[in-house]
């Protein structure tokens, strides 16, 4: 199971750096639907450092915190 987490994180990171910022958003959602995902927050922070200009709000990080927080009860209910 750990290799799946690493694969999703790596694909999202490479996709976010080389292609569209939507790819990490899908990766964050996939990680937080299945696991208690600290990788989602790290990925969001990296995307904010890469994509956002100086002085703007870190939208990926705020979005990842909200997604992980909102999906925690559903993940706990259905997957444990």
Comparing CA positions, the residue from 35, 44, 36 lying closest to residue 13 is 44
Residue 80's pLDDT is 64
The one-character DSSP state at 53 is P
Instruction: Chunk the chain into consecutive blocks of 10 residues (it has 80) and report each block's average pLDDT, rounded to whole numbers.
Output: 90 91 90 86 89 81 88 78
What does the buried/exposed string (b/e) look like for 41-77 if buried means 16 or more CB atoms within 10 Å of the residue's CB?
A: bebbebbbeeeeeeeeebebbebbeebbeebeeebee
3-class SS at 1? coil
> Whole-prediction pTM value?
0.82
Residue 57's pLDDT is 84
Residue 36's pLDDT is 82
């Amino acid at each position: 199971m750990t290799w799946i987490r690493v694969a999703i994180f790596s694909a999202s990171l490479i996709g976010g750096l080389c292609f569209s910022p939507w790819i990490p958003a899908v990766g964050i959602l996939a990680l937080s639907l299945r696991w208690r995902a600290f990788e989602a927050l790290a990925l969001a922070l990296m995307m904010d450092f890469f994509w956002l200009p100086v002085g703007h709000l870190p939208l990926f990080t705020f979005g990842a915190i909200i997604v992980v927080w909102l999906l925690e009860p559903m993940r706990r209910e259905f997957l444990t």
